[in-house]
Amino acid sequence: MQITKLLFTTFFLLYCCVFAQKLWSNQQLESLNNMQPSSEILRAMVPESQQKVMNGLEEFAEQYKTSPNAVEQFLLRQKRQQFLAKQVKDRVFLEWIGRINKLRTTQNGKAYLVIELARIPQEEEKAGQTVPEFRVTMGTWNNAYTDLDYKTLILPGTAMHSWLANFQHGEWVVFSGKSFAGDEDFLKEASPTQTESMLSPNFILKFEYLDKIDFPESEIVVTESYQSSEQSSSGDVSISEDQGSAKSRSSKISRQKIINKYFVPELTIRYYQEYRLSNYDWDYQSYINRWHQLVRYHWRNHPPNDYLEGSIPEGGEVFVLATVGKDGRVSGYQINSLGNVTDNMRESALEATRVVALPPLPEDFHDEELIVEYRFDHSPIQYLIKPEEDKSKVNLLFQDNNTQDGNNIISKMANKLKKKQLLLEAREYFHEELRREFSSHFNPHQRFDPNLELKVEISINSSGKVVETKLIEPGNSVKFQLAVLNGLSKARFATLPKPLRSEVPYRVRLKIIP
């Protein structure tokens, strides 16, 4: 009897564990599916060619839905064929945007992928005017038989196949690819009926590039529209542009300005870089400068080994608060920290602060005690953070794809990812330069409330000149605002790193806190 109870309990616990894991997985998937960027950010990011095609396809779907007879429906499909032939003459799609609708494999492990294109509601759109079932997907065939003449399925053992392991159902992606000639729709279309082809077309595509899109969190809203349209498949996980044209050039710059409006990086900079005092209304420079120099000398000569060796590359801040009496004796130390900080890093900062013997406070200091807070900043070691993750992806994509044209496809993806990696590295380098240059001009000479916060948006042109300084959040202290803006105005920069240069200024938002 006891054995039976034990077996029952064991099976029950196993069932609960499996059910909990499945429930957690479904919750994560549902949360991902419900994430929808705002219309503004989609309108800024989606290529103009994609928007034109989507708007045209939706108009044909609306006309088809309300068409009175089969003859008119047949003629509408012919008109749509002419429309697509005009819009995508070469059947090539460059950096279009959508979200993963299906990601599965055949019995032999070949991956097939379907992406639902981003649809941007038109501003004049009214309720009842849209076709509820309208959507456009692009993807590979889902079986080897129909794929014989197209070779769109992604083969096991190829770099593209391994690359797909990084993606999930519902994720937003940017992709490029080439379609095929279709007899009835100009593009090869896989719907079994004419009605499905007109209302929810599924175009066949051979993917040449695929990557994730990281939308700003402030531009993500929760929606049920995608989930409701995907109830049947939820949970499945397993622009050509005339560069010589002035109009195209203007359109490109305009779109870049719109994107920059939403994708503005934000950096946090501290006004007090190395120490701050409870009282500045005395001749503090000579007293603090000696202490500060000795503290820094000791800290630099006895750095925390774990941070120095790179085992804590994310870094962090250590704050040591010392309370000094009028006789120069320190009555107590308090240690606080932010970020990825170890006991060794905290101990190193504390030891540097208390190793110095202090003289009595000068007569012009009228408070009973002086509170000094030293800040020890362990900057992130960027090249050690996720050291090989992105580079290994690029190297992976440079491997052979086991198909004759696979090498060209993968090299395109690898080159795209390599450029993206260089851009990220350039941003990290330049942002660190921004922090150092701006903070070097902050000269604290009075005490500010630790809870103050100020946000400023800076625009820097390619030559490194600050062309605009815009106060976004002025904060509650006019004195702090003036002190910060005075320091920012003294900053000077060299030419921007090449990946960041553009016709429009590079914008960055600074959050300055005491």
Lowest mean pLDDT among 113-122, 273-282, 342-351, 382-391: 382-391
pLDDT of residue 224 exceeding 50: no
Confidence bin at 86 (pLDDT 50/70/90): very high
The reply to whether 272-385 and 404-514 are identical in fold is yes
- pLDDT of 423: 82
- pLDDT of 503: 83
- pLDDT of 124: 54
Q: Using one digit for the tens of pLDDT, what is the confidence trace for 387-435?
A: 444 555 555 554 544 444 445 555 666 677 777 778 888 888 899 899 8
pLDDT of residue 233 exceeding 50: no
CB 339 within 8 A of CB 307: no
Any residues with CB less than 8 A from the CB of 330 and at least 6 apart, and which? 322, 323, 324, 354, 358
Element (H, E) at 511: strand 506-513
> Which residue carries 């409870």 as its tokens?
278
Residue 456 CA to residue 438 CA, distance in Å, equals 12
Lowest mean pLDDT among 56-70, 238-252, 373-387: 238-252
Other Cβ atoms closer than 10 A to 101:
22
Lowest mean pLDDT among 51-65, 102-116, 417-431, 472-486: 417-431
Does domain 272-385 fall under CATH 3.30.1150? My reply is yes
Name the E strands within 224-340. Answer: 266-270, 275-277, 316-325, 330-339
Domain range summary for the chain, segments of one domain joined by +: 1-29, 34-245, 272-385, 404-514
Using alpha carbons, select from 228, 376, 386, 387 the residue that is nearest to residue 307: 376
DSSP 8-state symbol, 305: H
- pLDDT of 93: 94
CB 147 within 8 A of CB 140: yes
Average pLDDT of the chain to the nearest whole number: 80
Does domain 404-514 fall under CATH 3.30.1150.10? My reply is yes
DSSP 8-state symbol, 17: H
- pLDDT of 78: 95
pLDDT of residue 307 exceeding 70: yes
Over residues 2-29, mean pLDDT: 50
How much of the chain is helix, strand and coil, in % rounded to 5? 40, 25, 35
- pLDDT of 55: 93
Element (H, E) at 348: helix 343-354
Using alpha carbons, select from 424, 449, 434 the residue that is nearest to residue 513: 449
Residue type, 328: G
Q: Using one digit for the tens of pLDDT, what is the confidence trace for 325-352?
A: 999 999 989 999 988 889 999 999 999 9
Strand pairing category for 202-212 and 137-139: parallel
Over residues 506-511, mean pLDDT: 90
